[in-house]
Amino acid sequence: MFVSKSMTRKIITVDKETGIFEAQSLMAQYGIRHLPVVDPDNRLIGIVTDRDIRSALPYSFFKDTFSAQEKEKVSQLRIKDIMTTNVKTISPTYTIPDALLLIQELRVGALPVVDEQNKLRGIISVRDLLRAFINVLGIGEPGTLVGILVEEKIGQLKKIVDAITEEKVSFGSVLVARYWEEGKRAVFPYLLTQNVAPIKRKLENMGYTLLDPMEWYLDQLPKNE
């Protein structure tokens, strides 16, 4: 689960002298929201987002009252005038969880991927991360999510996996999550079957408490103080 395996490699870039309208047109053409800015050696020197472009355009542009004089003034703007130069980047050797945590911490929609020479190798966005997790969790295949409350003891997960495997059911993935009760964990196997009733009965007979995945999630939402 490395960034290098999930990043977008075919990147649309611009140089610092690109006009603002050309950049806007590129974003619309390719359906993207981020344009890395590179020098002639493909080294990253900045990034511009659709928000940067919108902020640079006068209010009249969006109200169809854009005058010829205003258009001429805006057409003089170059990417170097509006780009972010202190760009937050990530290495291709970082993992997907690293990227997810960094994107959330920085509150950005994408991170340019650069090597040790600061040369642009790709870009990883929230969309790329979602695609990666869908593949890892196996939820692209038809199946059913089952919730199980277990004690936080070594060997619990193996017992559950063995019990389900005995029923000739394949796993898409298994997610182990924290539970708000001390000494407990919530285990969520994604099973590649629609008929989970026999498995649920078996797990209950083994002494496990079943959780409704949706109710469990809602119960864990922070309560307003």
- Condensed to tens digits (0 to 9), the pLDDT of residues 133-160 reads 888 777 777 899 999 999 999 999 999 9
pLDDT at 222: 44
pLDDT at 217: 60
The answer to pTM > 0.75 is no
Q: What are the domain boundaries of the chain?
A: 3-134, 140-219
pLDDT at 62: 62
Give the domain 140-219 fold: Alpha-Beta Plaits (3.30.70)
CA–CA separation, 89 and 111 (whole Å): 5
CA–CA separation, 22 and 141 (whole Å): 41
pLDDT at 89: 97
pLDDT at 223: 45
The per-residue pLDDT for range 70-93, each reduced to its tens digit, is 778 888 999 999 999 999 999 999
Low-confidence ranges of the chain (pLDDT < 50): 218-219, 221-225
Residues whose CB is less than 8 angstroms from the CB of residue 164 and which lie 6 or more positions away in sequence, other chains included: 171, 189, 191, 199
pLDDT at 49: 95
Domain 3-134 maps to which CATH number in 3.10.580.10, 3.40.47.10, 1.10.287.70, 3.30.1180.20? 3.10.580.10
pLDDT at 197: 95
pLDDT at 215: 75
pLDDT at 224: 47
The first and second tokens of residue 207, run together, are 């002494």
